[in-house]
Amino acid sequence: MYKVMIIDDEPIIVEGISKVVPWEKYGCTVVDTASDGNEGLEKIRVNKPDIIFSDIAMPGRDGLKMIAALKVEFPDMMICILTGYRDFDYAQTAIRLGVTRFLLKPSNMSEIEEAVETMVAKLKKQRGDAPEEEHEEEGKAGSFIVKNALQYMEENYKNKITLNDVAENTYVSQWHLSKLLNKHTGKSFSDLLNQIRISQAKLLLMDPSLRVSDVAEMVGFLDVAHFSRVFKKQAGMSANEFRNKQ
């Protein structure tokens, strides 16, 4: 039996899909439900369902980030989106990230059953092209996560941010994020963060009224000696030498 989970903040939809769809006909069983994205993600990691029906416009989670995280963590999982969010670009991105079906609310039962049938057929499909199709989907989802991680780092480099902060923002584990950053950029989290900070520091050093210690603090370094070491490693010269050359 294929395990199914339904995630929606509208109880009537959860109950409707759980009880009205003839799950046994498709060799499926509903193992759990959730009313929001946070609860849903926790339960998915516990139950490891084969199929998910989920709304993505729920409070507390960014739907596209959640899809990307799931496709990286569980590349075989089939995802059907149920949403009232009528945005073509959003739907296109969701499908590019590996969503099997994108259904607009209110969906009729024949649409839902067709989605179940399609997802079950995909799960049954013998491997062949399947791994290639999964690696490709996982690659797109991974690329999406890395893009969001770098954006978060660029917006928050002034603060004391950790790998865990960025992982939480992209809904993946620290291990998954570290692996993805390395795979897509060839660099570690700390190298990428230092790169962002030092490139900002170079711009600030153009201002002669700022001391090196001021610049260090402004780009998120608590210790000027640490800043000096990282700057020299990245720029090939000290911060003062860089400033004097400008």
| Pairing, β 28-34 against β 101-104 | unpaired
In which order are the strands placed within the sheet that holds 51-54? 28-34, 2-7, 51-54, 78-83, 101-104
Residues 178-192: pLDDT tens digits?
999 999 999 999 999
Shared-domain flag, residues 119 and 208: no
Over residues 5-16, the mean pLDDT reads 89
Beta carbons of 152 and 170 less than 8 angstroms apart: yes
**Domain final position from 129, 162, 179:** 129
Q: Is the pLDDT of residue 101 over 80?
A: yes
Does residue 209 share a domain with residue 101? no
Per-residue pLDDT tens digits for 213-237: 999 999 999 899 999 999 999 999 9
Judged by DSSP in three states, 173 sits in: coil
Confidence of residue 195 (pLDDT cuts 50, 70, 90): very high
pTM for the whole structure: 0.78
pLDDT in tens, 22-81: 999 999 999 999 988 788 888 999 999 999 998 876 666 677 888 898 889 998 899 999
In a domain, 199, yes or no: yes
Cα separation of 73 and 45, whole Å? 9
What is the structure's pLDDT at 218? 94
Per-residue model confidence (pLDDT) at position 83? 82
- What percentage of the chain exceeds 70 in pLDDT? 93
The H-or-E segment that residue 102 falls in is strand 101-104
Which comes out higher in pLDDT, residue 199 or 130? 199
From CA 69, how far away is CA 171, in angstroms rounded?
6
- Evaluate if residue 130 carries a pLDDT over 70: no
Token pair 């700057």 is at which residue? 231
* CA-closest candidate to residue 104, choices 88, 118, 93: 88
- 40 occurs within a structural domain: yes
Q: List pLDDT tens digits, range 112-126.
A: 999 999 999 998 885
pLDDT at 62: 73
Which pLDDT belongs to residue 148?
Answer: 94
Please give the mean pLDDT across all residues of the chain: 88
**What's the CATH code of the domain at 101?**
3.40.50.2300
Q: How far apart are CA 177 and CA 163, in angstroms?
A: 8
Quick check: is 170 in a domain? no
Total count of domains within the chain? 2
Its domain, for residue 221, covers: 192-245
Position 78 in a domain: yes
Can you tell me the mean pLDDT for 197-209?
93
pLDDT over 90 for what percent of the chain? 55
Query: Which token pair is 59?
Result: 């409070």
